[in-house]
Structure 1
Amino acid sequence: MVIAVLADIVGSRKLDDRTAAQHVLDETIARIEDDLPLAVRPLTPTVGDEQQGVYRDLGEAMTALLMLQLRLPDGIAFRFGIGVGEVSAVESVHGELADGPGWYAARAAIETVHAREGRAIPRARTWIVGAPGQDEVMESTIAASNAYLLVRDELVGAMSERERRLTYGRLIGRSQHELATDEGISQPSVSKSLKSAGAAALLEGVSALRGSIA
């Protein structure tokens, strides 16, 4: 069993330059894979504003999606549906088509994100659905992970673009001094920005994800 991820662009119809935005997305996804390769198959455009990716386990999927949220500039964002279940490929004259209960679950998950965005949680960006037949352990893991994702998305959504860049840099192991040089600010300013943004909680969360959820 693997983890299927569907992603679509938030407000894609309102983007001034959809082609330029896609270039930013492609470059950002490639950068993340260079910095910390986690995907079995990185997010790849399929049709319209949708992307599909496959990950080995839930922790790695959630880590990779957080990295993408942190790395994207203001004005460009994804929402994500994560499906836990088997995936397969159907051969066609147009190439392989994604199929299987993992993808159906991912579709249900991204529809949940859309619904939550439109109600009381406008910063919601990520949700997980398990395909039928999950055991009790995975069902509990999915429920706890969804609770975590609601809070994580709220925290990331409140960050400035600089705060997201700094948090991303710390996530991939860069020092505060290196980040200060890149940003043209002092190291104490970096430390203050990270603290006020709640970056430490996000980074501890990543450590917990990669160490405890398989």
Structure 2
Amino acid sequence: MNTTSDSWAVIVDVSKSRSHVDRRALQQEIQDSFGRVNGIIAARQPLAATIGDEFQAVYSSLGDATRATLLSRLCLPDGVDCRFGIGRGEVTTIGSGVAGLVQDGSAWWSAREAIDEARRHEYSKLSFVRTWFRAASETGTPDEALVNAYLLARDHIVGSMNPRARRLLLGHLLGATQGDLAEQEGITQSAVSQNLNRNGANALLASEALLLEVER
């Protein structure tokens, strides 16, 4: 067995998956989107399908885990959304099976608790929630409440965005200039700037940068 301490496990499932008629096409679209994320964010284990409509990944830092989950939502096609559980703790590799590595550990237990919490919130007055974080008891900072406060605000902003606003935020995250984005969308650079401010993209990016300071 091999144990990696201080890992950030991520469990993903499809929100309201039963409402999609063509489940096979849905699965392929999600895999394509997550493949794009895997090419952007380095992972100890990249996002990959496991069983049913569930995906899993392991990251080495809070910043990588939160950025990967944000990019994953933004890369999804219109009308498709996912829930994300992020868990901090240990990952123990026991062996391999038909669905890949067989693993256990407190990071996975915490991620499972987190996605269950995200699901509960989605069907409550906090229906915009898609992401939650849990830390195993053996880990220290960052504090769960601090991370989840950021994730609550982030999910509300992203959930309120129309498709264009999401594309602009994604492009901004990937380093495109406002001029590039304006050309892609067929609008003016001023319109891009106004959109990023009006829809909360700039506030989201600033809050993410502050969250990363917790790791330093």
TM-score (norm 2): 0.91
Structure 1 residue identity aligned to 2:80: I
Residues in 2 aligned to 1:52 and 1:154: alpha-carbon distance in whole angstroms: 23
Residues in 2 aligned to 1:96 and 1:63: alpha-carbon distance in whole angstroms: 24
Asked whether the equivalents of residues 82 and 127 of structure 1 are also in contact (C-alpha less than 8 Å), the reply is yes
- Taking only aligned residues, the RMSD between alpha carbons, in angstroms, comes to 1.6
Query: Residue 93 and residue 165 in structure 1: after superposition, are their counterparts in 2 closer, same or farther (change >3 A)?
Result: closer
Residues in 2 aligned to 1:163 and 1:92: alpha-carbon distance in whole angstroms: 41
1:200 alignment counterpart: 202
1:42 to 2:51 alignment: no
1:8 alignment counterpart: 13
1:121 to 2:126 alignment: yes
| Secondary structure at 2:44 match in 1 | strand
1:58 to 2:62 alignment: yes
Segments of 5+ residues of structure 2 without an aligned counterpart are: 1-5
Note the alpha carbon deviations across 1:120-149, whole angstroms, 9 max, x for none.
1111011111112223x34x2x22011111
From 83, 90, 93, the counterpart of 2:94:
90
Query: Residue 106 and residue 93 in structure 1: after superposition, are their counterparts in 2 closer, same or farther (change >3 A)?
Result: closer
Query: Residue 189 and residue 93 in structure 1: after superposition, are their counterparts in 2 closer, same or farther (change >3 A)?
Result: closer
Matches within 5 A, 1:1-214: 1-34=6-39, 36-91=40-95, 94=98, 95-135=100-140, 137-138=141-142, 140=143, 142-213=144-215
Identity %: 41
Structure 2 residue identity aligned to 1:19: R
1:185 CA displacement: 1.7
Asked whether the equivalents of residues 44 and 53 of structure 1 are also in contact (C-alpha less than 8 Å), the reply is yes
Structure 1 residue identity aligned to 2:128: R
Note the alpha carbon deviations across 1:152-187, whole angstroms, 9 max, x for none.
101110000110110111111100110111112221
Segments of 5+ residues of structure 1 without an aligned counterpart are: none
Q: How many residues align?
A: 210
Asked whether the equivalents of residues 41 and 64 of structure 2 are also in contact (C-alpha less than 8 Å), the reply is no
2:3 alignment counterpart: none
Asked whether the equivalents of residues 33 and 75 of structure 2 are also in contact (C-alpha less than 8 Å), the reply is yes
Structure 1 residue identity aligned to 2:18: R
Residues in 2 aligned to 1:149 and 1:213: alpha-carbon distance in whole angstroms: 16
Residues in 1 aligned to 2:82 and 2:48: alpha-carbon distance in whole angstroms: 13
| Secondary structure at 1:164 match in 2 | helix
Residues in 1 aligned to 2:14 and 2:107: alpha-carbon distance in whole angstroms: 21
Residues in 1 aligned to 2:166 and 2:213: alpha-carbon distance in whole angstroms: 23
TM-score (norm 1): 0.92
1:5 CA displacement: 0.5
Residues in 2 aligned to 1:213 and 1:38: alpha-carbon distance in whole angstroms: 17
Residues in 2 aligned to 1:163 and 1:182: alpha-carbon distance in whole angstroms: 13
